[in-house]
A and B are shown apart, each in its own frame.
Chain A
Amino acid sequence: MNRAITRKEFLKSVGMAGASVFLCGAQAYAFWPGKADNMKSVKGHIFKNDAPAKPWKWSIEAFHYTSIGRKVQCQVCPNRCTLSPGDRSICRSKVNIGGKLYSLAYGNPCSVNVDPIEKKPLNHFYPGTSVLSIATTGCNFRCLNCQNWEISQKKPEEVRHMELFPADVVKAAKGEKTPSIAFTYSEAITYYEYTHDTAKLAREAGLKNVLVSNGYINKGPLLQLAEYIDGANINLKSFDNNLYLTLNGGTLQPVLETFKTLHQKGVWFEITTLVVPTYVDDFEMIKRMCAWILEELGPDYPLHFLRFHPEYRLTRLPPTSIETLEQLRDLALKEGIHYVYLGNVPRHEGCHTYCHHCGKILIERNGYQLNQYNLDNGHCKFCDTSIPGRWT
């Protein structure tokens, strides 16, 4: 009855056994203790051999980089991408072409809109005004809940864009009669050169400049840029380095340094924290965050807690509960921060500005509209306390 196994059958059997061992082995390997932690950083990577052969029309040689032979190292953000010729940076905007670092995002915004300044959000920066908002592609983070992933996670060549060089942006802002220009939507740090040159021209033309950013930038480039920045909204995504790695693909310390630098340079900024349920709603962490803010920056910079909504790849979490947001706001106020706002919660009392001295309503907001404005030359109309911010 028994017959010898044929060569074909033997090969098949070996193949099947191999596949079975692989599948079961993979299960054991995947679930091995400690393995999971290594998989939970979403930090971006350099794109090898992904650069175009030559710079295109919307390129400019980067302002901040060092060379090591034909390799270059970008110095704009803490990623400090070291690129061989032909490589592309983590943010997708910088490339090494022939031993020089180029930005491919210069004069080619893919999104241009006029927004209310409160949308950035900035509540203490010329309230009720509008702002010309521009963005090119790219981001040095990989936030799992990015609401603009269609541009932040794309290369400049992958999107439809306009041609708007720095002088044109200033002209457009003048045309739209907006008193300021915002570098926003994706990540302004990744189109640093474009932001810098536009902001410089805008300043000369009497316009204000607004930076909306994750704050992941090195001190040198920031100091240079801060010369022209009038207002900023910087995301403090959490106060935990592991969370920065897991949810954003960055690290906390450089962001904290950014706040300190802007504070030292006298740039007005507001802090935004998106309260992601089960991650950023840790009261102890927020308490530590408030303590740091008070110690390093003082109580005057507004802190915005935003309600999270499922977005991009973080779609299997619920929106933040209003109660949690209210508790966090109470906590931050109790800790000593003077201005704490709630975002994405229409008609909530946490959207208004109250005088930190007398407690009366200074600005009553209905969405982006101002129903009451009780400030006089930057002072509370009721108690004459100077209110921090930039006011008309």
Chain B
Amino acid sequence: MADRRKLIIWAIIGTGISSIAVQLVTIREYLSQFHGNEITISLVLFCWLLITGLGSLAARPVKCSSLILYALILVLMGLWPLIQLILIRNFREILFIHGISPDFYQILFYTMVTLAPYCLMLGFILPHSLTVLHNSHHEFTSGELYLTDSIGDTCGGILFSFALVYWVKPFKTVAITSTLMIIVGLILLVSDRRYFLLILTSVCVILFCLFAFDSSFETSTLSKQYGDIVRYVESPYGRIVVSREGPQHTFWESGNPLYSSANTIGSEEKIHYPLIQLERVKSVLLVSGGLGESLGEVEKYYPNRIDYVELDPYLTEAAQEFGFIKNLPGLSIKNTDGRSHIKTTDRRYDAIIVDLPDPDTFQINRFYTSEFFSLSKRILSEGGVLSFGLEYSSDYISDVEKKKLSIMFNTAKSYFQNVMILPGGEAYFLCRDGEISTDIPSRLRTKSIVTDYIDGFYYGNVTKERILKIQDILDQEEYQNTDFEPRIMNVMFQEWFLKHGTSPKIFILILAGFVLVYVVLMRKEEYLLFSTGLANMGVEMLVIFSFQVIYGYIYLKIGAIITVCLLGLLPGAAMGSLYEEGNKRMLVFSEVALLGLILIFFVWNSFLRSELHQIYFLGYCFTFSFFCGLQFPLAAKMIGERQSPAAGCLAADLAGAAVGTLVVGTLLIPLWGIQSAIIFLIMIKISSSMIILFSKT
């Protein structure tokens, strides 16, 4: 009997390991299937946490248990992630029109239904483990359950973030991380002598392994989306696929076509509009966008040095292998975050050409802010030029586009004497302290630079009237875009919704209604955990966001932050479990500690914004998680183990985390800046503190 207790504890740890890895793999999968902006990330996390919370709640009334059923669920949960990934990849092509970018509600619906089986099982199995243990007369508290699950989560997080993401693809990742659960499930069947079921599940497991470890099978599940795949790499930054159609190769980055052969128009526009402004081009910094013809166009100016910064080394490696990065004298490829390079380099450049997507993620936003322009100016040589492009429509500039262009113009104008927007295929911003010419073809002819597109098309597309129209439309009263108040992201979100003809209002209203009903129905202790789950997720997002702003997107260190957040829960939960009875004083103390920590963040963000050593961020996350972890067992004990609090507490924690992700990530930061998000978190924690402080129990 004692062995069974151990087996179930191992099952809980296995569930933790598997669930965190499956969560990360699944988020990356959705990012490759849908538009990879913050809305998608938040929606996926929201659905995950919410449905898992539903599963936990569903476990609450289930008082009876069967070890066989438990074992079967374990095995099924181990096998399902592979099926889930195949479903996500293939049914997208069946349900949606091939090549389309689905809208908000389509993503929400698709995410919910594809995640539902796994998340419901996940939410159900954890509290049900407790029921199984109790029904077998084993002592195990809700706090211990939370602690054990956290151990699994932490192991899974470390395993994925620091090992699997570098070496194996998603199918193998889910297979490896599910191993413990499957083994425990099979051992439970053996121990109960259910040999028929054992044979049946063993066959399923063998099939699972055959498919999961077959690389060609994994690649084949992507062919509907990409066509003829000649290279498929999972890098820590996303999915890189190279597909081929005849002699044309297309580079895909997380599902979006990044570059296709013969991109003459885009390459000429982004390179020549800025470079032709300069009398002499000695050194050029290219922030992304160096694939294909771009470097060849830069070469026409005979620069001494070209620094090409691309975050993902796997992308440049593949591009070099397929001959899409020209071997030029003076070319240096730097696989690092572009903004960190600009911040730390001692070099001076005559031109900085930023070729990134429009800023609809926090990561990309850092290249479109006041602070970025300030950093860029520092490394520009006298009279140097900075350029970047934004999507727009050349025939009619909508109100949202007007806002977007105005924000960027005002932001750039506060650092450069002249900012000119050329209405090409994109709206190309040229920022310089010297003169900016709009007669690009004649300047090119003067320098004997031959172009295929600009020479013949420029005067018909970038007419004086169109240039004037853009200038006239700019609103000088618009905000500036900053690191901590990413106003342009809000505009990008608006544009995204407009493009799909949808609005999130109905969703927000329904969600607010459900949250309200749920909060009213829950226990006070559950509300405390709800608020803590919300604050924990919110703070994690704020810290990652701030860290990226200061240090750039460094995969390993972001991974370290997430891991430390999980790690902090462990000693917290362990300490909370030490208390025999519910300890209100300790709960109040932890509330005050959490509030204090958020206030510290507020003070740093509002008044100091100094560049803290990275260790402070890690220490902060650890401490915050510690107090979050502390609360779960304390709250569970206050409810009393007889009331079976695990399901309700887990559900509240998960629901809070879901709401926190959505509200902080997609609403508050983009709409009103980081301070509003911190204030919101402070209000939430004040409300939970008051409830605990004035409750009689």
Listed in ascending order, the chain A residues whose CB lies under 8 Å from chain B are 2, 5, 8-10, 12-13, 16-17, 19-20, 23-24, 26-27, 30-31, 36, 39-40, 42, 110-111, 113-116, 118-119, 135, 144, 147-151, 153-154, 159-160, 185, 246-247, 276-279, 310, 312-319, 321-324, 344-347, 365-369
Contact = CB atoms under 8 A, between A and B. Distances in A.
Contacts of B260: 318-319, 321
B254 to A, nearest CB: 10
Nearest to B402: A160
Nearest to A130: B460
A159 B460 contact: no
5 contacts: A12-B60, A20-B120, A276-B99, A310-B256, A313-B100
Contacts of B113: 23-24, 26-27, 30
A318 B60 contact: no
Contacts of B58: 13, 16-17, 20
Given A20-B58, A26-B112, A114-B463, 20 more contacts: A20-B120, A23-B54, A40-B97, A111-B395, A114-B465, A115-B460, A118-B460, A119-B460, A148-B393, A150-B396, A277-B245, A314-B101, A316-B101, A321-B260, A323-B245, A366-B455, A366-B456, A367-B458, A368-B460, A369-B459
A323 B396 contact: no
B246 A346 contact: no
A318 B94 contact: no
A144 B100 contact: yes
Contacts of A317: 98-99, 257
A318 B112 contact: no
A118 B116 CA distance: 53
A367 B396 contact: no
Given A277-B245, A346-B452, A13 B60 contact: yes
A318 B456 contact: no
Contacts of B327: none
Contacts of A316: 99-101, 225, 255-257
Given A23-B51, A367-B457, A322 B248 contact: yes
A321 B245 contact: yes
A149 B245 CA distance: 28
B457 A368 contact: yes
B521 A2 contact: no
Contacts of A160: 399
B461 to A, nearest CB: 8
Interface string B188-213: 00000000000000000000000000
Given A110-B396, A319-B257, A367 B101 contact: no
Nearest to A8: B521
Contacts of A147: 393
Contacts of B225: 316
Contact of B61 (A5, A36, A321, A344): A5
From B57, B227, B252, B458, residue with most partner A Cβ within 10 Å: B57
B248 A323 contact: yes
Contacts of B558: none
B99 A278 contact: yes
Interface of B: 35, 51, 54-55, 57-58, 60-61, 63, 87, 91, 94-101, 109-110, 112-114, 116-117, 120, 225, 227, 243, 245-248, 250, 252, 255-257, 260-265, 393, 395-399, 401, 452-453, 455-461, 463, 465-466, 499-501, 521
B516 to A, nearest CB: 15
B116 A24 contact: yes
A31 B95 contact: yes
Contacts, number: 187
B499 A312 contact: yes
Contacts of B397: 150
Question: What are the 6 tightest A-B residue pairs by CB atom distance, in nearest-first order?
Answer: A367-B456, A321-B248, A23-B116, A317-B99, A366-B456, A367-B457
B452 A347 contact: yes
A318 to B, nearest CB: 4
Given A20-B58, A365-B456, A323 B95 contact: no
A42 B97 contact: yes
B247 A159 contact: no
A27 B457 contact: no
B395 A16 contact: no
Contacts of B500: 313
B61 A324 contact: no
A324 B227 CA distance: 15
B459 A368 contact: yes
Given A321-B247, A346-B264, A368-B459, A185 B453 contact: no
Contact of A368 (B35, B262, B456): B456
B246 A347 contact: no
B395 A135 contact: yes
Contact of B396 (A27, A111, A116, A366): A111
B499 to A, nearest CB: 7
A346 B243 contact: no
A372 to B, nearest CB: 13
A191 to B, nearest CB: 14
B455 to A, nearest CB: 6
Nearest to B117: A24
Contacts of A310: 256-257
Contact of A321 (B99, B114, B261): B261
Nearest to A308: B99
A168 to B, nearest CB: 17
A8 B401 CA distance: 50
Contacts of B57: 12-13, 16
B95 A346 contact: no
A322 B465 CA distance: 32
A367 B453 contact: yes
A319 B293 CA distance: 15
B60 A313 contact: no
B91 A31 contact: yes
B101 A313 contact: yes
From A12, A39, A149, A366, residue with most partner B Cβ within 10 Å: A12
Contacts of A347: 264, 452-453, 456
A20 B62 CA distance: 15
A31 B87 CA distance: 9
A118 B458 CA distance: 13
A322 B521 contact: no
A102 B353 CA distance: 50
